[in-house]
Amino acid sequence: MPKYLIEREIPNAASLTSEQLHGISQTSCGVLRNLGSEIQWLHSYVAGDKIYCVYIAPNKDLVYEHAKQGGFPANLVTEIATIIDPTTAE
């Protein structure tokens, strides 16, 4: 199943409180439950004015539908071609 990197532009994202991030996460998980098992949130990175999320989904349309139902942006959705790390050099 494809993995996607989602870029969400959220002003002052890095300044969101734990409570705000908790609420956003709860909203996301609720939408994911409603959409079914084909889409899965792996993790996210909060940095500056953006949140970068990694999802598994059969297609981009389902990722965009998740964002629409959740009420949060999905400014850029890119399929991840491959993952590299230090072990790639071995």
For the chain, how many structural domains are there in total? Answer: 1
Q: Confirm whether 27 is domain-assigned.
A: yes
Whole-prediction pTM: 0.92
The pLDDT, as a whole number, for residue 81 is 98
Return the closest-CA partner of residue 70 out of 38, 37, 23, 36.
Answer: 23
Q: What CATH number does residue 17 fall under? A: 3.30.70.3090
Q: Confirm whether 25 is domain-assigned.
A: yes
**For range 71-89, the mean pLDDT:** 96
Q: Confirm whether 43 is domain-assigned.
A: yes
**Could you list the residue range(s) of the whole structural domain that residue 16 is in?**
3-84
Q: Confirm whether 90 is domain-assigned.
A: no
Q: Confirm whether 89 is domain-assigned.
A: no
Burial of 87 (0-12, 13-18, 19+ CB in 10 A): exposed
Reported as a single tens digit per residue, the pLDDT across 20-78 is 999 999 999 999 999 999 999 999 999 999 999 999 999 999 999 999 999 999 999 99
